[in-house]
Amino acid sequence: MTTTHLGAFPAGFLFGGATAANQIEGAAEEGGKGLSTSDFARFVPPAADGSIADFTFDATSEQVEEALAGRAPEGTMYPKRHGIDFYHRYREDIALFAEMGFGLFRMSISWARIFPTGFETEPNEEGLAFYDAVFDELLAHGIQPLVTLSHYEMPIEISRRLDGWLSRETIALFERFARTVFERYASKVKLWITFNEMNMNLTSIYTGAGVFPDRVQGRELQAAYQATHHQFVAAARVVALGHELMPDAQIGCMICRLETYAATSKPADVLRATHEDNLNLFYPDVQVRGEYPTYMTRYLREKGIEIAMAPEDAEILRAGTADFISISYYMTYLAEDRPDADALSGSLVSKLKNPYLELSAWGWPVDPVGLRIALLKLWGRYGKPLYVVENGLGARDRVEENGRIHDDYRIDYLRAHLLQVREAIEDGVDVRGYTWWGPIDLVSCSTSQMTKRYGFIHVDQDDYGNGTLARTKKDSFDWYAHVIASRGTSLIDVD
């Protein structure tokens, strides 16, 4: 039992959940939608020894061409094409979110559902109407949508024809997409995020930037930062456009926060941790401050990376800075001064393990205090409002004979992290919302599996797409509902 003097979360703080279109919608070729990069993410089954691969995102140009020609190897599966059928079941799912008391639902719009190839001059009305219906349903239940424009998917034709974000031409295509949805949904959506986890480009340039890795072999780092620059410019242009079209809207940036500790108090390890931290904070530095930081200028120079920039880019970045910062937070990292340190840099699952932290079933360190540290650091550095838009625990759930799912481990994880968010608010940090990643079981980003479950709501579907898709409440469903209803006071166990 823990005794604490923390009270309720502030009035106006928004609790909710977060998803991505490519992991829940399905209906990959319905309603006029075109295929996106995520529709070519293959299912990676567990190995024979039961071990599970993680962070296997990439698709090569050859694999995509084989799939489009119907020549993919026998047994190849693309689970994101069917998702969990949110496309047809969104009313049922939103009703369950409302039953939990959600005030905020983070979701994304599939670019390929609005512009099937990305090159059309007129949008797909059927796709626009679908999101109208989703937003109307959310608002009818008192749930505010927080919408990500680009969440690990773009029309596959942009990758095939332009090499995705490696091409400057993609900026104009994205701006047309953004203008279309801003104008359509201005009265319904007041919170927007430009790009999900832009720092993913260092881990999977295909996932983050729609660039085929086989086309940039041998120059991966150069390509990652060039694609990122084009995304920076696109984000800034879209922020400026959004402010013009929707004066009452807020448009933010988002990173996967890689909070890094020095492995020891050795000064060289501390310096290495500072370097790793800077490589992560580079993304909000540009999007919030509107210019490249000097430490990054040196880093790029020493790596032999030259970013092609247009003369107007500096002014575009200054004119389109983000209104808020949003983060995904799952774990913390260790850094030490060692010969292979650069190879570890930017990795989403570190090979260095913190002996003071427990690991999840997928080998992710569980560190609730690290979330408070991250929020304090971001607030001190930028002074911008913050949203935790992804935080969650992937786990293997067991369905009991009576159909119940007892997921105390998920409740424990959520309680510990929410308490640290509340502590950060008490520290004076302006945290405005928290959306748990995967309030409903969804297709995993990395391996396209269902085994790795995050939700408060169980979906009856296995890794191979078998099941009824029935939705069932887990124990965590009622627990989170109680937290929201009490504005967090139920988190506190008093002696």
The residues with which 155 forms a beta bridge, in sequence order, are: 36
Which two structure tokens, joined as six digits, stand for 388?
């935790």
User: φ, ψ for residue 435 (rounded to 5)?
Assistant: -125, 115
CA triple 471-328-411, angle to 5 deg = 50
Tell me if residue 333 falls in helix, strand or coil: strand
Can you tell me the distance from the alpha carbon of 26 to that of 83, in angstroms, rounded to the nearest whole number?
A: 4
pLDDT score for 3: 42
User: φ, ψ for residue 375 (rounded to 5)?
Assistant: -65, -40
pLDDT score for 1: 36
Instruction: Find the DSSP H helices in 101-253.
Output: 111-114, 125-140, 156-162, 169-185, 205-209, 220-245
pLDDT score for 275: 96
Q: What is the pLDDT along the chain (495 residues), one digit of tens a residue?
A: 344 568 899 999 999 999 999 999 999 999 999 999 999 999 988 766 655 565 567 899 999 999 999 999 999 999 999 999 999 999 999 999 999 999 999 999 999 999 999 999 999 999 999 999 999 999 999 999 999 999 999 999 999 999 999 999 999 999 999 999 999 999 999 999 999 999 999 999 999 999 999 999 999 999 999 999 999 999 999 999 999 999 999 999 999 999 999 999 999 999 999 999 999 999 999 999 999 999 999 999 999 999 999 999 999 999 999 999 999 999 999 999 998 887 766 566 677 889 999 999 888 999 999 999 999 999 999 999 999 999 999 999 999 999 999 999 999 999 999 999 999 999 999 999 999 999 999 999 988 999 999 999 999 999 999 999 999 999 999 999 999 999 999 998 643
Considering only CA atoms, give the Rg of the chain: 21
pLDDT score for 340: 83
User: φ, ψ for residue 332 (rounded to 5)?
Assistant: -115, 170
Which two structure tokens, joined as six digits, stand for 424?
């950060």
In this structure, the chain runs to a length of: 495
Encoded amino acid at 450, one letter: M
Can you tell me the distance from the alpha carbon of 15 to that of 144, in angstroms, rounded to the nearest whole number?
A: 10
Sign of the CA dihedral 188, 191, 192, 193? negative
Give kind and range of the element (H or E) at residue 266. Answer: none
Distances, alpha carbon 452 to alpha carbons 54, 287, 442, 443, 455, in Å: 10, 32, 9, 8, 10
> Where exactly are the structural domains of the chain?
14-491
User: φ, ψ for residue 139 (rounded to 5)?
Assistant: -65, -35
Can you tell me the distance from the alpha carbon of 292 to that of 225, in angstroms, rounded to the nearest whole number?
A: 12
pTM of the entire structure?
0.96
Residue with tokens 């008093």: 494
Encoded amino acid at 199, one letter: N
pLDDT score for 351: 78
The single-letter DSSP state of residue 433 is E
Can you tell me the distance from the alpha carbon of 166 to that of 159, in angstroms, rounded to the nearest whole number?
A: 9
The fourth-level CATH superfamily of domain 14-491 is Glycosidases (3.20.20.80)
Encoded amino acid at 224, one letter: A
Which two structure tokens, joined as six digits, stand for 57?
């995102």
Number of neighbouring beta carbons within 10 Å of residue 263: 18
Which two structure tokens, joined as six digits, stand for 175?
């701006």
Burial class (CB in 10 A: 0-12, 13-18, 19+), 244: exposed
Encoded amino acid at 421, one letter: V
Contact 81, 33 (CB under 8 A): no
pLDDT score for 495: 37
**Helix crossing, 408-426 with 475-485: angle to 10°?**
20
pLDDT score for 494: 43
pLDDT score for 442: 98
Number of neighbouring beta carbons within 10 Å of residue 401: 5
Contact 441, 84 (CB under 8 A): yes
Residue numbers annotated as active site: 197, 390
For the chain, what is the largest distance between any 2 Cα atoms, rounded to a whole number of angstroms? 65
Distances, alpha carbon 141 to alpha carbons 134, 144, 250, 273, 347, in Å: 11, 9, 21, 45, 39
Can you tell me the distance from the alpha carbon of 423 to that of 417, in angstroms, rounded to the nearest whole number?
A: 10
